[in-house]
A and B are shown apart, each in its own frame.
Chain A
Amino acid sequence: MNREGGSGTEHRELRELLGGHALEQLDGPDTDRVRDHLSTCPTCPSELAELEPVVASLRAARPNWEGISTPEPPADLGERVLGRVRAQQLTPKRPGTWARGALAATAVAAALVFAFVLGVRLAPEPTSPQVIPLDDLVLASGIEAEAGLVRHTWGTELQLRATGLTQGTVYTVTFVRDDGREFSAGGVIGVGQDPLTCSVNAGLPIEEASELTIADPTGAPVISADLP
């Protein structure tokens, strides 16, 4: 028995059954196993709770599911585009290659404008990322800094604003996972007393990140924080 309620392999299997459990897809025996596990495991109940908003939303979408919806252009849009092209078409004094070329160019231009407008309309609305401030930074002498984290599907972003990092010195940015493994988020070059504002990323889910360290070339931390 480990702290997660069962052997490592057993815990992993039961943890991965939480998806089917949340979606009510498990048969009776598996449901009983998961319920027993949830009653003793210190971590799986919270993982299951995190899935609840997703499950509730999927459940609501399911009865009328017809695929991922994408806005359809108006049915008469093609005819409207052609109508605009026709309206702009001047009767050529000398029908010939030039006139046909001009008509084709107009149609291509109209199509490009249409594609651009449609692309803009279909583009998702930009959303501002939610920045989680790091209030308890440990700073080396002479350094001032503010920092925050942004949760992404692909990992964790650090947004940093600092002064006092030695001009021209390369500092390494590292996230540390719960189990001690380090994940590099690259490096930044100090700009002295000028404000340094940057954003760096690590391929580590924010939930698994336990520590942030920015270190000088000797490995000495100059900015660090325990992560919430």
Chain B
Amino acid sequence: MQGPREPDASQEDASEEVVPRAVIDDALTMVTPEHREVIVEVYLKGRSYAEVSAEIGVPTETLRSRNFYALKALRLAMDEIGATS
């Protein structure tokens, strides 16, 4: 496990569906605080799992599985907002 890497430009897909920033903000407010925390801290702020784990006292293994369920919850939230088809 390592910290977040910078996105690989070669893997960017112009066809990917990107919703407005406000939708992401809304979706983040609709998920649990734990799910919001792992997405914000480990991905959006680019902090390492180890750093966040030490700060909040949650094992890194738990954080990375929580990361998966957080993304699924965000997908449901975006569906509920109507941001995905």
- Enumerate chain A residues within 8 angstroms of B45, measured Cβ to Cβ: 65
Total contacts A to B, CB within 8 angstroms? Answer: 122
A15 touches B44 (CB 8 A): no
- Enumerate chain A residues within 8 angstroms of B30, measured Cβ to Cβ: 153
B43 touches A51 (CB 8 A): no
A19 touches B64 (CB 8 A): yes
**Given A16-B64, A56-B18, do A127 and B81 touch, yes or no (CB 8 Å)?**
yes
Check: A215 CB closer than 8 A to any chain B CB. no
A61 touches B24 (CB 8 A): yes
**Size of chain A's interface in residues, with CB distance under 8 A?**
41
B16 touches A52 (CB 8 A): yes
**Given A20-B64, A56-B18, A151-B76, do A25 and B4 touch, yes or no (CB 8 Å)?**
yes
Q: Which residues of A contact B (CB under 8 A)?
A: 15-20, 22-27, 30, 47, 50-62, 65, 67-70, 124, 127-130, 151-153, 205
A53 touches B28 (CB 8 A): no
**Given A60-B21, A153-B30, do A53 and B68 touch, yes or no (CB 8 Å)?**
no
Q: Beyond the given A24-B4, A54-B71, could you list 13 further A-B residue pairs with CB under 8 A, ordered by the A residue number?
A: A24-B8, A25-B42, A25-B67, A26-B1, A53-B19, A53-B83, A57-B78, A58-B44, A58-B74, A59-B7, A59-B18, A62-B7, A124-B26
A129 touches B80 (CB 8 A): yes
- Enumerate chain A residues within 8 angstroms of B3, measured Cβ to Cβ: 25
Question: Measured between C-beta atoms, what is the minimum distance from B63 to chain A in Å?
Answer: 10
- Enumerate chain B residues within 8 angstroms of A60, measured Cβ to Cβ: 18, 21
B17: nearest chain-A partner, CB-CB: A53
- Enumerate chain B residues within 8 angstroms of A68, measured Cβ to Cβ: 25, 28-29, 40
A20 touches B68 (CB 8 A): yes
B80 touches A54 (CB 8 A): no
**Given A26-B1, A153-B76, A153-B80, do A61 and B68 touch, yes or no (CB 8 Å)?**
no
**Given A25-B4, A26-B1, do A53 and B75 touch, yes or no (CB 8 Å)?**
yes
A153 touches B1 (CB 8 A): no
User: Could you tell me the distance between the alpha carbons of A62 and B11 in the complex, rounded to whole angstroms?
Assistant: 16
Question: Measured between C-beta atoms, what is the minimum distance from B58 to chain A in Å?
Answer: 14
Interface CB pairs A-B, < 8 A, 9: A16-B69, A27-B2, A51-B72, A54-B75, A57-B18, A58-B43, A61-B44, A68-B40, A69-B25
